[in-house]
Amino acid sequence: MTSDDAMGLPTRRVSWWLYLVTAAAWMIIAWVVLRFNLRSVHAIAILAGVVILIAAVSELFNMVTATDWKWLHGIMGVLFLITGIVALFHPGNTFVWLSAFIGWYLLFKGIMDIFLAFATKDDNEAWWLLLVVGIFEVLIGFWAAGRFGRSAYILIMYVGVIALSRAITDVVTAFRLRKLQQAEDAVETTLPLMPKAAAGNVQVRPSTS
């Protein structure tokens, strides 16, 4: 991508610190969720559904603002939307089914994070953190989706894990976006000082989250 193209990247419209704000919000949500003292499937299903629907909105926002992998964010957003609606309005009669819904979410999210970690390895210094989070999500997802007895406390913990993993993902995204925007600013500052032919060959690696 040339420097002229880089100046028009969609991520230029999004401030990198906005993702730190959302990460802080997810941390607060995780803290609040873990303090809940719920005992019924219905109440926990509403809690899980709301949190997953917020995550779906976040993925759809990423689909609009990302420079690449828009299709992946879009697919995840739709899957999270469906999962959140099902958990919210049709949780089933047992903790087992609710665990399955939450488990599917964590599996989808973990697979996406692992994929993005390797896909952005060259320009993402924190790719390993995204990989660790993704593996953790997949493991928790398999365990949550298993047909075993689950207590209300464990289900609430699952919802807290969802919020916490979103917080970590947004922190990684914030610093990747900051690095990209700093590189673009450096190119914009340098271009007027460079010969026109050389300036046309300058490339800026786009963000993929």
Structure tokens at 81: 């939307």
The predicted pLDDT at position 134 comes to 93
The predicted pLDDT at position 70 comes to 81
- The number of residues in the chain equals 209
CB within 8 Å of 196: residues ≥ 6 apart: none
Q: What is the 3-state secondary structure (H, E, C) of 85-150?
A: HHHHHCCCCCHHHHHHHHHHHHHHHHHHHHHHHHHCHHHCCCHHHHHHHHHHHHHHHHHHHCCCCC
For the CA atoms of 161, 165, 171, 176, what is the dihedral angle to 10 degrees?
A: 180
The predicted pLDDT at position 191 comes to 57
pLDDT of the chain along its 209 residues, tens only? 333 333 333 455 678 888 899 999 999 999 988 888 777 777 888 888 899 899 999 888 888 877 777 888 888 889 889 888 888 887 665 677 778 778 888 898 899 889 888 988 887 788 899 899 999 999 988 888 765 556 777 888 888 999 999 999 889 888 888 887 787 777 767 655 555 445 455 454 544 44
- State which amino acid sits at residue 128: W
The predicted pLDDT at position 135 comes to 95
CA-CA distance, 46 to 99, in Å (whole number)?
13
CA-CA distance, 89 to 2, in Å (whole number)?
48
